[in-house]
A and B are shown apart, each in its own frame.
Chain A
Amino acid sequence: MSIIPYARADGALYWQVQARRNIGVRSLFLVVLAFLIAYAVLFPGLFTVSGFAKFTQSWFPLALVAMAQAILMLTGGISLAIGATVSLGAVIAATTMGGPLGIAGGAAAVALAGLGIGAATGFIVVRLRLPAIVVTLAGSFIIGGAALLILPRPGGSIPAWLSDLLAGDTPAAFVLLVVVVLLWKLYLATPLGLSLYAAGENPVGAYRSGVPVDAARVAAYAISGLLSTGAGLFVAAQTGSGDPVIGTAFTLNSIAAAVLGGIGFLGGQGTMRGALAGSLLLSLMISVMFFLGFTPVAQYVAQGLIIIGAVAIPQFRKVQQ
């Protein structure tokens, strides 16, 4: 740990802090870059508008759930209900948007459901002091059951123009991702956002220093729920309908992306840019394996090996030093 020299201006300090945060994720960025180049070689269409659009669309939901998991892990929590929440978001979108509520009403319902579920989970974990991993595991049954109640079998519909806008040949997904990242930066500047790292790194110390630890953690759960149902809305727009179990794979993938991105399980360690890079790496890996003609089964095997390798190697080097 080096001491940050006195900054001459506030701006200089800001960039120094940002540069320090990049140190941990530099090698990850290099790996992502290598995979991006491999992808561009295999799939030259990446540099056309529609190719870029398709590429970002396959990444976008994974990026959202990676952020949803990362914000929890930064506060020392975790969620095993992300997949179920994504499914719930998808079925709510598919059942409301074609109905009397319309697009705006449907989107509001999706957002409210995410915020409400997240806040309720956060309340149970934080105020009732139950272990997050067990609460969210039980929560995944409740949320998944609710999704089955709303839509027992795949169905519903998303208005065609919305599907075309979000998942058509426009890079709308990328624009949305930029907006989400900007909103995240904005959130980090609010009192609750500032408390996020402190609440995760050292909750007792933060509490005694006057940081609103409980509020920051409950807010993190609420935002996590919102991001998850948002990812569900997008997945529903991609497929044009709702499916009550479409989100299942996102639970493992969100944890894998966050951990690949250098987010620690103990809270307060890691950065959102790392989680985003982790999700991009995972998305690229899946696409590259697809283009190389791996069967889905071999993809499972390779994914398991790559995740262990990617997590183990940096740890191993740290131990050797």
Chain B
Amino acid sequence: MTAWTDSAGGRRARAILTSRPFLTLAIVVAVWIAASIASRGFGAYGHLRYLVELGAVIGLVAAGQTFVVIAGGIDLSVAAIVTVSAISLPLLSWQADPTGLASVLAVVALTTAIGVVNGLGVALLRVHPMIMTLAMATFLQGLLIIIAGGSAVTAENPLVHWLGNARPAGIPAGILLWIAVSVLVLTLMHATPFGARIFAMGANPLAASLSGVPIISTTLAVYGISGFTAGLAGVLVLGMNGQGYVGIGDPYLLASIAAVVLGGTSILGGLGTYAGTIPGAILLVTITALITVVNASPGWRSILFGSLILGLLLLSGREQARR
């Protein structure tokens, strides 16, 4: 207790070891080790790599969700935005675009715009984020059926195909994309004035506004980022799946919120980090994989999934007592 805690390095190490992101990471490692002992195929490098690849989609959606939640809001339209991205990409393809980069950019611009519209509703019309984004999801759901007509669409976009299937240096391109986005997000969140502003806004919007934080433009940016990362996730999931259909994004709503909360970000805003969301996302896909191994009926699978999330929340998601 003396020399070790007194030195600056020791204090730093202790802060990391007791932090929520580290706790979540420790749970992931523990579950992986336990599952590898119980079932032999689980711990294989290929399987773990596949899990992280699946986690990349959740991690991307949850990146925007982390921004929104830290800023004191919530985005319930991410599932619909993922679907919009996966469905509209094949429709936005041009002959004069051999790499497919232009259509990917167009789709991500579209989903960013959807996010900005969410932000406009929240910041200017002062609609509660939950209502604004739920209504947006309802609206998009109707629009999607008009656009896609309920049938699956196939992407013939080289870039999307590469994202979903290529493995430069043995690492899936989706994981590389996730790593790049993570670095960007962590830098933006913890090393820029913008990042400081979203924490201030989430902790106390009135105080932040009086201290000169531009609430409206920051809100627009936060929801725009959420639309952007959900759009990227839609592109990735389309690449991994090969086909887009209405409902392809549905699993990612609960998953993104659960990953954020499991990673130690307060759902009340103003507190948290994307560094916790990353292991949170991997934990979620691990749970899903374990449930699939159990080979139960859909009802039991659903019950197991919900119960495990609840149990994990008890470990890492509790709020402070308010009295």
Contact = CB atoms under 8 A, between A and B. Distances in A.
Interface of A: 78, 124, 128-131, 133-135, 137-149, 152, 203-204, 207-208, 252, 255-256, 259, 265, 297-301, 303-305, 307-308, 311-312, 315-316, 319
Contacts of B141: 300
A129 B323 CA distance: 12
A301 B142 contact: yes
Given A131-B261, A143-B306, 20 more contacts: A128-B314, A129-B318, A129-B320, A129-B321, A130-B310, A131-B319, A133-B74, A134-B257, A135-B310, A139-B310, A145-B302, A145-B303, A148-B302, A203-B322, A255-B130, A299-B142, A300-B138, A301-B143, A315-B125, A315-B126
Contacts of B304: 145
Contacts of B145: 297, 300
Interface stretch (B35-43, B157-165, B179-187, B292-300): B292-300
A147 B309 CA distance: 19
Interface of B: 74, 121, 125-128, 130-132, 134-139, 141-143, 145-146, 254, 257-258, 261, 267-268, 297-307, 309-310, 313-314, 317-323
29 contacts: A129-B321, A130-B317, A133-B267, A138-B254, A138-B258, A138-B313, A141-B309, A142-B303, A142-B310, A143-B306, A145-B298, A145-B299, A145-B303, A145-B305, A148-B299, A148-B302, A152-B297, A152-B299, A252-B134, A255-B134, A256-B135, A300-B142, A304-B136, A304-B142, A305-B139, A308-B131, A311-B128, A316-B125, A316-B126
Contacts of B132: 308
Contacts of A142: 302-303, 306-307, 310
Contacts of A256: 131, 134-135
A124 B297 CA distance: 26
Given A152-B297, A265-B128, A308-B125, A124 B310 contact: yes
Contacts of A298: 142
Contact of A312 (B126, B130, B143, B298): B126
A134 B308 CA distance: 13
A148 B298 contact: yes
Contacts of B268: 131
Given A139-B310, A204-B323, A300-B138, A146 B299 contact: yes
Contacts of B321: 129
A259 B313 contact: no
B125 A138 contact: no
Q: Is the interface of B mostly helix, strand, loop or mixed?
A: helix
Given A134-B317, A252-B134, A308 B127 contact: yes
A199 to B, nearest CB: 12
Contacts, number: 143
Contacts of B130: 78, 255, 265
Closest 8 CB pairs of A and B: A300-B142, A145-B302, A141-B306, A304-B139, A148-B299, A145-B303, A142-B306, A312-B125
Contacts of B138: 252, 300, 303-304, 307
Nearest to A137: B254
B135 A149 contact: no
Contacts of B313: 130, 134-135, 138
A319 B146 CA distance: 36
Contacts of A140: 306
A209 B139 CA distance: 45
A130 B307 contact: no
A313 B307 CA distance: 40
Contacts of B318: 128-130
Contacts of A203: 322-323
A146 B301 CA distance: 10
A15 B132 CA distance: 35
A13 to B, nearest CB: 31
B306 A145 contact: yes
A316 B258 CA distance: 33
Contacts of A149: 297, 299-300, 303
Nearest to B145: A297
A176 to B, nearest CB: 29
A216 to B, nearest CB: 15
A142 B318 CA distance: 20
Given A130-B319, A315-B126, A307 B131 contact: yes
A315 B309 CA distance: 36
Given A130-B317, A298-B142, A304 B297 contact: no
B127 A304 contact: no
Nearest to A213: B323
Nearest to B134: A252
| Most chain B CB atoms below 10 A, which of A135, A141, A144, A203 | A141
| Most chain B CB atoms below 10 A, which of A130, A203, A316 | A130
B256 to A, nearest CB: 11
Nearest to B305: A141
B136 A311 contact: no
B82 to A, nearest CB: 17
B9 to A, nearest CB: 34
